[in-house]
Amino acid sequence: MSEITGIEMPINDIKPFVKTNVLDQCENETTARLSIVGAPGCGKSDIIRQICKENGWGLSVKYLSNMSLEQITGIPCQVKEGEEAKWTKPEIFNFENLEYKPDNYKEGESISILFIDDFHLADRIIQKYLFQLLTYKSLNGYKLPKNTAIILAGNRNTDKALANAIPAPVMNRISVYEVTATSEDWLKNFAFVYNIRDDIASFIHTKGDVFLSQKPVESVPWASPRSWTFLSNQMNSYEKNVGPIKIDALRKIASSLIGPDYAAEFIAYRELFAKFNFDELSKLSMDQIKTIFEKEAEENSSSVYAIINAVTSWMISKIKQYNFNVDKKEVIDIINFTYEIMTTILGMKVHGIQVKPLVIAGTNYIYKFQEAAIQNMTNIPPDFNSTKILDIFVQNLLKKRDIDWIFYEIISIIFKHELDEDDKIEIEKAKKNLQFN
């Protein structure tokens, strides 16, 4: 629930507001400085780095949490009697070691962001000096270059992050945007783009926002986009440097980052997810595979969603492995095999579980990946577009099975493909033949 402005937005939606504010600050000396507020770990720092890389801007990051007052204000120098008081250059004005420096960057000329993180930790003394910085982009005789914009980030009073109240005159000089992390936004704009592990990404996709953005907890680990990213990195490092992760080791790693309750949920999911090796399964006949799936579903109906997530993750990893060349025969075969798995599951009767919503969710996972690739990834071929995967799926209608028409309706809705009247007739026939709701 929004605490300050009454409006929250997914964090990726902040991008156009930051861009316009930065350009406005470079042109207009007295415009408002933009402030991003949200829960710890929701990605505020990461989104600023992304914006700078996308726009070719320099980035200087200053963390109030580890800066002394002297680093912000400078230190007064001893001067001769009658001379004007002078100060050393504050660290906050140091742009020599940028966190991100684009090609052809020229200090003082290229657009840069001075990103003041942990703004919520500024006490009254620091705020007194930041008031001057925010108003005039200057402090104790030093002035930021014209093409430098100030962006702030911090947490809210309810985030248990020691947030200090911000005086009214300071608030009146900033524009505040509240952001939140959603699973859909995180997957599309971060997890897929920055290669978060398949088991983690698919778990968040299945479980939703509650497992991504837990309410901040003091003194114990809790789940956030940051902690899930750390978990992905540490699992990769463990596998690289130690070997396969056994449950006991994973429990220790996950509990240290996301807490024991969420760790237990993730481990239970991952045990199912990891059971299915689709490189090996693709060597079997579909009848053999169906028998395996039915046996798994009889023993544990939850295995169905793990199967769907495992095969869609497998397909996605293969597409990336082949550099998004979906015209390659090997990739077409992989997509067609995934199609067969999805339609096989769609036709299964599983006790105590509705299969169709799980198939829809799995298909949506593929679509989110495709969207992320088209919009956010730089290494994909120019002909990888919104119809590439869809076209391969649709070719399976040549098999003229009723289940293909059922799945066709699902992929048409998710991939935003318009059905013609003949298609609709065939779909209704298939539903009647299969007694499919």
Please check whether residue 60 lies inside any domain of the structure: yes
200 with 105, same domain: the answer is no
Nearest to 210 by CA among 274, 271, 261, 269: 261
pLDDT (0 to 100) of residue 265: 94
Whole-structure pTM value = 0.84
306 with 372, same domain: the answer is yes
Q: Pull the structure tokens for residue 333.
A: 């075969």
Please check whether residue 2 lies inside any domain of the structure: no
pLDDT (0 to 100) of residue 436: 82
Please enumerate in sequence order all residues whose Cβ is within 8 A of that of 193, keeping only pairs 6 or more positions apart, or say none. Answer: 372, 376, 377
230 with 308, same domain: the answer is no
Q: Which residues of the chain have pLDDT under 70?
A: 1-4, 79, 82, 157-164, 217, 437
50 with 157, same domain: the answer is yes
First and final C-alpha spacing in the chain: 37
pLDDT (0 to 100) of residue 75: 85
Last residue of a domain, one of 164, 180, 196: 180
Q: b/e for 35-67, b at 16 or more Cβ within 10 A?
A: bbbbbbbbbbbbbbbbbbeeeebbbbbbebeeb
76 with 129, same domain: the answer is yes
212 with 257, same domain: the answer is yes
pLDDT (0 to 100) of residue 78: 72
User: Are the CB atoms for 254 and 266 separated by under 8 Å?
Assistant: yes
Look at the block and give the residue holding tokens 């402005």: 5
pLDDT (0 to 100) of residue 420: 93
User: Are the CB atoms for 180 and 213 separated by under 8 Å?
Assistant: yes
Domain that holds residue 268: 182-273
- In the chain, the number of structural domains is 3
Q: b/e for 122-151, b at 16 or more Cβ within 10 A?
A: beeebbebbeebbeebebbeeebbebbbbb
Q: List the alpha helices (DSSP H) in 274-418.
A: 278-281, 286-299, 303-321, 329-346, 355-376, 388-394, 402-414
Q: What angle do CA 27, 169, 37 make, to 5 degrees?
A: 75
80 with 20, same domain: the answer is yes
Question: d(Cα 335, Cα 415) in Å, to the nearest integer?
Answer: 15
Please check whether residue 285 lies inside any domain of the structure: yes
According to DSSP, the residues that pair with 152 across neighbouring strands are 35, 116
pLDDT (0 to 100) of residue 370: 96
Last residue of a domain, one of 158, 180, 202: 180
- Strands 58-63 and 112-117 come out as parallel
